[in-house]
A = this chain, B = another copy of it.
């Protein structure tokens, strides 16, 4: 089983206080960009891979999706997702390790996976599985940590000659990065951008859009703490079609 850091009490306590946890999709600065990658969900069958507290699943249901199958490894997050979801919503929450989950063939119109791929050990297996679970013409919309964010030995800004920068190194060295984020010892997988995109292509996907989380000047004015995201993108967002 993959590392279940989201059920670590210290991690979970910290995660729960993030804006994206407290405010849901509205607390995620990249959400407007991600939303623009999604097709109309009316009457669609949707799978949410790494659903967390279920903010996307509920949004999909409110947007008219016929059903949403939502998976996550974290018991605590699934419990909270259940609490936040009304009984009539067409959402099924299921605990699963995405590194081993299999889904029925051609069962969904839309697959969504937010900020999960950088935890998965076997990306090819996962992407191939998602491709098989989509109907022809279906869409896979994903976000993950950007390769320039996952790559460095030290995952923090540095000051040099009076200028702040992001110390990029080890970009070409794919594999585990151990980070102290909310709790010590969080294991992430660094992959290059080429690997991420070519894994989608090799699975049979067509790339429709590739975006990076660069906040607009207007977003920075409204939330000055986002300014550093213009210096180094934190997230990658991809829309791929079967």
Contacts and interface: CB of A to CB of B under 8 A. Distances in A.
B192 A232 contact: no
A99 interface: no
Contact of A167 (B166, B173, B192, B193): B166
Nearest to A207: B207
Interface in A128-176: 148, 152-154, 158, 160-161, 163-173
B165 A168 contact: yes
A201 B193 contact: no
Contacts of A198: 209-211
Given A148-B148, A171-B230, A154 B158 contact: no
Tell which of A161, A208, A210 has the most Cβ of chain B within 10 Å: A210
B214 A170 contact: no
Interface in A96-120: none
B165 A152 contact: yes
Interface residues of A, number: 38
Contact of A173 (B197, B207, B230): B230
Contacts of A211: 194, 198
A153 B162 CA distance: 12
A153 B163 contact: yes
Contact of A210 (B148, B160, B164, B193): B193
A166 B232 CA distance: 12
Interface string A188-201: 00001110011001
Contacts of A172: 212, 214-215, 229-231, 233
Nearest to A152: B165
A201 B212 contact: no
B231 A168 contact: yes
A209 B202 CA distance: 9
Interface of A: 148, 152-154, 158, 160-161, 163-173, 192-194, 197-198, 201, 206-212, 214-215, 229-233
* 3 A-B pairs with the lowest CB-CB distances in the bound complex, closest first: A165-B167, A172-B214, A172-B230
8 contacts: A152-B165, A153-B165, A160-B167, A164-B169, A166-B167, A167-B168, A168-B168, A172-B231
